[in-house]
Amino acid sequence: MRDYRFIKNYVHTMRKSILLTFFVLLPFFIGTFSMMGASVAPLGTNILTKTITFSSFISNDINHEINPITNRSIIWDVRLNLSKLGGKTDFVYFGEAPDANDGPPADSYDTVKPAAPTKNYIRAWFNDSIPSPYTELERDYRSHPSTTKVWNLSVLWVPAGGTLSATITIVWDRNLLNLSEYDQISLQNESGIQISNMKITGSYTFVCPANTPQLFTINCQIDTTPPEIINQSPVTGETGDAFTFNATVLDDITPANYLIVHVNWSHGSLFGNDTMSLSGNNYFVKTITLSNYSTSPLIYHFYANDTAKTPNVNYTTQQSATIIDDEPPLINNISGDLIIGTGDPIVLWVAGMDNIGVTSAKVLIDSIEHSMIWNNGTTRWQYQYVAPTENISNHSYMITVFDAAMNTKTSGTYLISVFDNDPPTFTNILATPVFQLINGYVNLTATITDNINLSSVTIQITGPEGFNPVNITLLGYGNNYFFNQTYLLSGIYNYTFWGNDTSDNSITSVAHQFTIFGELQITILYSGWNFISLPFNQTLSTTNLYVLYEGTDYSWSEAITQGILLPSIFDWARNGQGYTLVNSLVPGYGYWLYAYQACELWANGLTSILSTDYITSLFYHWNVLGVPINQPVNKTTLLFVYQGVEYNWTQATTNQNPTGGPLILNDIFGWDRRQPQGYFLADTLDPGLCYWMYTFYDLILKRTL
């Protein structure tokens, strides 16, 4: 009877929701089609329309279980008992069976949670993403066997009145958990933090806020990963002395004090296969005594196993340590005094000999030690030194050679003389803007640096025929240089920077360009409906629009009389949520325009255009908008200003803002002009095009500069 009342109430609620949706949207559809006619493109509100079918969940025979419990082949299951002081309790089951499903469709083991009382109760359920009525499960069984599995548990406390929280304890039988195939079963909170190792502890107590479901996961895992072994043993030893093997051994599940670690070793006539001791944290050690009569390498490897149900074992590759004597090596030859340019490399080298062999060498440059590398081709130890770029001071070095026993020989001190041969460098060469109108300012900037000191910086500019070339010396502000002026001729301009330092090293930058123009292309129009916007920050009348069709320019009125364009431009009124006819285009807004022929839409009579971070103001409900700049804008760079505070895309589409919900709909809808025409989901706002965006509040739309 309780299930029947639940279904009846649910159906009644859904019927009311559908009728309300129909009568709210009916005037909008009638108004739109009466104004636009049958050729008008679909509107944004049509995008959210959905059809709801009740036959999928209305039935006269709704059971908590698909099949009787006697038909089950459960491998293991565990009951979670929930309780609080005062006697309120609840329970849920989770487990595995070979014929159970992970997720939809519902199987014979999935049991629907009975309807809850009206108040004063604890309610727990599992969610396995199964459609209604299996959205809340009292028993949730998954497929067996598996290596990993996650159950989604929800716990709700509803008091008799008020918002007083409750202390709730969850209890389970650890012995039943141990019947599963998993080595680790972890109860985790909504943030993914483990709050209970369920195979070690048998309960978990927490404070449950009133009327707010608390989300948990039960994460199960079979340990298939062997321990990781990091060798930290010495690389050398001395004959007859103690040698300590050191290794850090890590395992994803087994604690360090349960790991078993061995070292298998041999040196000379001695050998062993010894258990290592835990020294602290995950650090294992074993000390042996080396042979006193051999300088052969100490050969060894580690192996470790964990305590998984099927233990995992890891073996390291063969390792070795060098055993040395006490005779110092000799230096036969050395690189000596050197001369080098700033920033240039040079090889410091040494040739040595030893009764056993020189094993390493180090060079001390200006009191800083560097290891050298053995070069088989030259049969000497080498280090590639790179001279500093920022000064021309002299530097000194000495080299020490080592044998296997760490006996050493150090050379005398040698000189490295440095001179400046590095020209200045250019970065951040920019023209702002790259495309500018006649009489508009173009600011040419560059950051110019030198390793020692700059002497002078000039700029050279060439342009279209009739332009007087520029070649002048610039004054810098720190390392930043700029040249700002207007240009009267339309066309492409080339510019370069030239820099010279105090050592007379000079460099010329690569050529860069900017363009001066008096008109701009707005967009390409396709045959049919076009969703357009201005790609620049200037309001235009239709008298400033013209069409380029098959190589011929047509004014706005000519394009209409020639049958190229429909004479009407449709604007979406954001505050009235309906269409109006307009004769001018405003930056940040979008418009519908019908073209009978594919052509290009251009604007003339433009003045100097400034780009800002402001795009447009959005009103609650649907908005048609475009970006008033001549470059694409990704939605992740959009900013939404609500009550004076900026929110990024993630914050605006989630509850990461003061409203507790999204500021905007997560989807942006663009219009595909090509046939067949239709809407698509857009991640990038392209210049000249426009888009539908739904907002839940009045906002200001900006972009990240």
- pLDDT score recorded for residue 609: 66
- pLDDT score recorded for residue 22: 35
Report the sign of the C-alpha dihedral through residues 96, 100, 101, 107, in that order. negative
CA distance 567 to 583: 10
- Section 373-385 average pLDDT: 95
CA distance 491 to 505: 34
- pLDDT score recorded for residue 354: 78
Please state whether the predicted TM-score (pTM) of the whole model is above 0.75: no
Alpha-carbon distances of 154 from 143, 172, 437, rounded to whole Å: 21, 16, 62
**Which residues touch 609 (CB under 8 Å, ≥6 apart)?**
433, 437, 440, 536, 537, 538
Reply yes or no on whether the pLDDT at 228 is more than 70: yes
pLDDT band at 72 (very low <50, low <70, confident <90, very high): low
- Which of 35-39, 54-58, 598-602 is the most confident on average? 598-602
704: amino acid identity, one letter: T
258-307 pLDDT, tens digit each: 999 999 999 988 999 999 999 988 999 999 998 877 889 999 999 999 98
With the CA atoms of 537, 543, 544 and 546 taken in that order, what torsion angle do they form, in degrees rounded to the nearest 10? 120
- The pLDDT mean for the chain works out to 87
CA distance 375 to 513: 49
- pLDDT score recorded for residue 8: 36
% of the chain residues with pLDDT over 70: 89
- Section 199-219 average pLDDT: 95
- pLDDT score recorded for residue 23: 34
- pLDDT score recorded for residue 677: 92
CA distance 446 to 456: 13
Reply yes or no on whether the pLDDT at 36 is more than 50: no
Paired sense of beta strands 319-324 and 236-238, if any? parallel
With the CA atoms of 294, 297, 298 and 299 taken in that order, what torsion angle do they form, in degrees rounded to the nearest 10? -130
- pLDDT score recorded for residue 335: 96
Higher pLDDT residue, 646 or 19?
646
Reply yes or no on whether the pLDDT at 41 is more than 80: no
E-strand stretches of 574-613: 578-582, 584-585, 591-595, 599-604
CA distance 372 to 369: 10
pLDDT band at 557 (very low <50, low <70, confident <90, very high): very high
- Section 16-23 average pLDDT: 35
- pLDDT score recorded for residue 40: 29
- pLDDT score recorded for residue 436: 82
- pLDDT score recorded for residue 607: 66
- Section 395-411 average pLDDT: 92
Region of poorest pLDDT, from 44-48, 77-81, 357-361, 454-458 = 44-48
CA-wise closest residue to 443 among 391, 408, 487, 407 = 487
- pLDDT score recorded for residue 204: 97
Reply yes or no on whether the pLDDT at 177 is more than 50: yes
Alpha-carbon distances of 220 from 74, 136, 160, 202, rounded to whole Å: 17, 21, 36, 16
- pLDDT score recorded for residue 254: 86
Q: Are 309 and 183 in contact (CB under 8 A)?
A: yes
203: amino acid identity, one letter: S
**Secondary element (H or E) of residue 115:** none
Reply yes or no on whether the pLDDT at 63 is more than 60: no
- pLDDT score recorded for residue 305: 93
416-444 pLDDT, tens digit each: 999 999 999 999 999 999 888 777 899 99
Q: Are 402 and 361 in contact (CB under 8 A)?
A: yes
CA distance 58 to 604: 63
**What's the Rg (C-alpha) of the chain?**
39
pLDDT band at 12 (very low <50, low <70, confident <90, very high): very low
- pLDDT score recorded for residue 612: 86
Counting Cβ atoms within 10 Å, is residue 546 exposed (0-12), middle (13-18) or buried (19+)?
buried
E-strand stretches of 336-465: 338-341, 345-353, 358-365, 368-371, 373-375, 380-386, 395-403, 408-410, 414-419, 425-432, 435-437, 441-449, 454-462
% of the chain residues with pLDDT over 90: 75
Higher pLDDT residue, 73 or 142?
142
Which residue in the block uniquely carries the two structure tokens 């716990």? Answer: 155
Reply yes or no on whether the pLDDT at 540 is more than 60: yes
Reply yes or no on whether the pLDDT at 55 is more than 50: no
Higher pLDDT residue, 499 or 515?
499
pLDDT band at 49 (very low <50, low <70, confident <90, very high): very low
pLDDT band at 328 (very low <50, low <70, confident <90, very high): confident
- Section 303-331 average pLDDT: 90
Which residue in the block uniquely carries the two structure tokens 């909008």? Answer: 28
pLDDT band at 68 (very low <50, low <70, confident <90, very high): very low
- Section 519-528 average pLDDT: 91
- pLDDT score recorded for residue 608: 56
581-632 pLDDT, tens digit each: 999 999 999 999 999 999 999 998 776 566 789 999 999 999 999 999 889 9
